[in-house]
């Protein structure tokens, strides 16, 4: 099973757009606030390469990891997941 984590913070309007997409989604997405939890921000920089939110970390069942930036791309991806 693939797993998903969304790096975000509440004051970011692009994050709000993506958070709205999570409503009604069957897939479970772990929420990682990067303002409240410095470790989350560190993970994001180390893994994704930059601090920009939102970012969706996609871990495939074979262990490969993708860091998807851009709210519109993330929203589209989540819609497809269902």
Ligand X SMILES: N[C@@H](CCC(=O)N[C@@H](CS)C(=O)NCC(=O)O)C(=O)O
Q: How far is the CB of 31 from ligand X (least distance, A)?
A: 16
Nearer to ligand X, 26 or 80 (CB): 80
Instruction: With both helix axes pointing from N to C terminus, report the angle between 13-22 and 71-81 in degrees, rounded to the nearest 10.
Output: 0
Tokens of 71: 């709210």
Nearer to ligand X, 43 or 70 (CB): 70
Site residues (vs ligand X, CB under 6 A): 12-14, 51-54, 70-71
Q: E-strand spans in the chain?
A: 3-8, 29-33, 55-59, 65-69
Nearer to ligand X, 40 or 71 (CB): 71
């Amino acid at each position: 099973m693939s797993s998903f984590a969304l790096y975000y913070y509440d004051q970011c309007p692009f994050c709000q757009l993506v958070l709205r997409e999570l409503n009604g989604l069957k897939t479970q997405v772990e929420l990682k606030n990067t303002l409240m939890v410095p470790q989350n921000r560190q993970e994001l920089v180390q893994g994704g390469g930059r601090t920009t939110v939102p970012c969706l970390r996609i871990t495939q069942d074979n262990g490969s990891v993708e860091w998807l930036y851009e709210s519109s791309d993330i929203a589209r991806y989540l819609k497809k997941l269902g």
